[in-house]
Each structure stands twice: as structure tokens, then as C-alpha cells.
Amino acid sequence: MTAGVAGPDRPAPVSPRAAARIVWSLKPRFSALAVVGAVGALIVVLVAIFGPLVAPYNPDAVNFNLVLAPPGTAHHLLGTDQLGRDVLSRMLYGARTTLAVGIVSTLLGTAVGLPYGMIAGYFRGPLDAVLMRIADVMLAFPFLLLAVGLAAISQPTLWTAVIALGVAQVPQIARIARAATLEVRDLEYVQAAQVNGERDLTILRRQILPNVLRPVTVQTTVAIPTAIVGASILSFLGLGVQPPTADWGGMLAQAQQYLYQAAWLGVFPGVAIFLTAFCFNLLGDGITDALNPRGRR
């Protein structure tokens, strides 16, 4: 066979320099917007992790001498709220709470939804029908209703918020996982694995999962901003994190009364929620685009 001759479906052997060029071109192409989103999201995450360490005050420390101080007051960069608590410190701690609820609930939803969808798609038949009908029912329940229900059973806490939001994510992720599973389930190499005598679990892990991970990852990154806003909504309505724990949604709720006197109490958390969701959204879009198979070569 002639060395160095490329066949119709066999690439020509490459020199190291050409190889480096090819690898470089495969780097995910992030648009400028996506980079902005990534940077923003990263900042928020860093604030959530390290913020409380550098917070000047205890977020719960009340100070009746300095109530509703405007931003720029000495020692209180962002002012104080109606109980004299430092807004900056509350914002830093609130980042942690909001992000935690948003991200953990999404991870929970993925951890449950992924195997749910894979099992439904792989085994099909009556099992699939039942699982998907249940998922449809879940889809019909807005997370608010779930949160209210949970609040009725027990005290609303951070965890009831996480569970409510997480459960609400499950059907969407399950659907995507199921669709991705169906795509590869009937391919001949999966049949070959069955003929090999591989166990179903092994087949799910080695043959099906790699194909499912990509779309599910995309969905997860897109779901995080929704969950963050959702977490804020819940605490705004008093169905999630309870005061006095610092949390952006809760801060927004309390700020309602003081809209005319101390508008900053609402502006800071509101803008923070918006920017965080926006940045995660941009990041999610960027990841979606980067993971998409590129247009024809």
C-alpha cells in the first residue's frame, strides 16, 4: 500500500506542525459575549466563596444608631438597611445563599433526571411509558406550587427551596437524556455490546452515557440562571430562605417598604440577581455554541 496516500475516508498522515495547528483550531470558539458571561459568572462565584471572608461586618449585626444610611457612608460602602445591618456584608453573604440554592438545585435535578431519562429511553416499553407520564405530571407543576406545598408540610427553609427547584428541573433534563439515549440506542454498536454479553449497566455507562452528557450539560448550564432567579422568587415570597439569613431575594422583599426612602436597598440585590442570571445565561449560550458540532468543514 502506498504510504502517505490518503483514502476517501482515511485522513492523510500529518506532520507534528500540522497536528498542532489542528488541535489549536479545535479549541472551543467562545464568542466575546460568552467570555463576558464567563468572567461575570466567575466573579459571582468567587464572591460567593470568598466574599463572606472579607465582609466587613456580620450580616446579622444590627445597629440601631445607623439605620437606613445611604451608600457612601463611612464604613458602609453600600449603606445600611432598616435594622442598621451593613448592606455590603449582606450582599456578600447573600451571594453565597442565592448561588448555592440555584446551583445545588440544578445539580440535584440533573443527578435525578439523567438516569431517569436514560433508563426510560434504554428499556422503553411500559417502563418508559410510565416514567414519562410521571415526568409529564411533574412538568405540569410549577416550582412555586411545589414550594408552597413543601412549605405547608414543613417550615420553608433553604432545603425546601432546593428540593422544590430541583424537582422542577427533573422532567426537562429527563426528556433530553431520553432523547439522546434513543438516538444511539438502536445503533449497531449498541446491539453489538448486547451480543457481547455486556451488562445493561455497562452498556448504559460506556455506550449511551457519552452521547447523553453533551446535551444534558448544555441544558444544565442553561438551567442555572433560571434556578437562580427561581431561588430569588421563592425567598422574595417567603417560601425559601427565611430572614434573618441574608439572601438577595429576601433583601428585595424587605426593600419594598423603603422604596422611596432608601431605594438602594432594592437596587443592589435586584441588579445583582439580574446580572448574575444574565452572565450565567451568556456562559450557557457560549457553552452550547462551543459544544455544537461545527458547520461543514
Partner 1 sequence: MNGSDMTTEPPTLTVTGLRKTFHLPRTSGRGAVHAVAGVDLTIGRGEIVGLVGESGSGKTTVAHCVLRLLEPDVGAIALDGTDITHLSRRGLMPLRPKMHMVFQDPYSSLNPRMKVADIVAAPLRAQRQLPRRKINAEVDEMLDQVGLPLELRGRYPHELSGGQRQRVGLARSLIARPLLLVADEPTSALDVSVQAAILNQFADLQRDLGFSCLFISHNLAVVHYLCDRIAVMQRGEIVETGPREQIFRSPSHPYTRELLSATEVSP
Partner 2 sequence: MNDNSLLRIEDLRISFRTAHGPVLAVNGVSLSLRDNEVLAVVGESGSGKTLTGLSVLGLEPPDATVTGRIWFRDEELRSASPRRLRDIRGATIAMIFQEPMTSLNPSLTVGRQVAEVVRRHQGLSWKDARSRVLDLFDLVRLPSGARHLRSYPHQLSGGMRQRVMIAMAVACDPAVLIADEPTTALDPTIQAQILSLLRDLRASLGMSILLITHDLGVVSRMADRVVVMYAGHVLEQAPTAELLSSPAHPYTTGLLGAVPQPDSNAETRRLTPIAGQVPLLRAEPTTCVFSPRCAHVTPACLTAQPALRQVTRGEAHQAACVLDRIPDPARETAPRAQAT
User: Shortest approach of partner 1 to residue 171 CB, angstroms?
Assistant: 22
DSSP for residue 258? G
Q: Which is nearer to partner 1, 70 or 210 (CB)?
A: 210
Grid-cell match 428540593, residue found: 163
Radius of gyration in angstroms for the set of CA atoms belonging to the chain, rounded to a whole number: 25
Q: Which is nearer to partner 2, 8 or 126 (CB)?
A: 8
Decide if residue 126 touches partner 2 (CB under 8 A): no
CA dist 124 → 118, 121, 129, 186 (Å): 10, 5, 7, 12
Rounded CA gap, 183 and 208, in Å? 9
Out of 2, 154, 155, 196, which residue is the one contacting partner 2 (CB under 8 A)?
2
Rounded CA gap, 128 and 178, in Å? 9
12 binds, among partner 1, partner 2, none (CB under 5 to 8 A by kind): partner 2
Q: Would you give the binding string for partner 2 spanning residues 16-55, x where CB under 8 A is met?
A: --x-------------------------------------
Rounded CA gap, 186 and 190, in Å? 7
Q: Are 254 and 105 in contact (CB under 8 A)?
A: no
- # residues near partner 1 by CB under 8 A: 21
Decide if residue 7 touches partner 2 (CB under 8 A): yes
42 binds, among partner 2, partner 1, none (CB under 5 to 8 A by kind): none
Decide if residue 1 touches partner 2 (CB under 8 A): yes
Decide if residue 199 touches partner 1 (CB under 8 A): yes
189 binds, among partner 1, partner 2, none (CB under 5 to 8 A by kind): partner 1
Rounded CA gap, 259 and 252, in Å? 10
Q: Are 243 and 212 in contact (CB under 8 A)?
A: no
Q: Are 37 and 282 in contact (CB under 8 A)?
A: yes
Decide if residue 256 touches partner 1 (CB under 8 A): no
CA dist 42 → 12, 34, 48, 49 (Å): 41, 12, 10, 11
Region of 16-24, 204-212, 250-258, 263-271 interacting with partner 1 (CB under 8 A): 204-212
CA dist 9 → 5, 6, 164 (Å): 11, 8, 50
Decide if residue 23 touches partner 1 (CB under 8 A): no
Rounded CA gap, 247 and 241, in Å? 7
Sites for partner 1 among residues 138-197 (CB under 8 A): 187-189, 191-197
Q: Which is nearer to partner 1, 100 or 184 (CB)?
A: 184
Out of 7, 16, 125, 295, which residue is the one contacting partner 1 (CB under 8 A)?
7
Chain residues binding partner 2 by CB under 8 A are 1-2, 5-8, 10-12, 18, 297
Chain residues binding partner 1 by CB under 8 A are 7, 9-11, 187-189, 191-200, 202, 206-207, 210
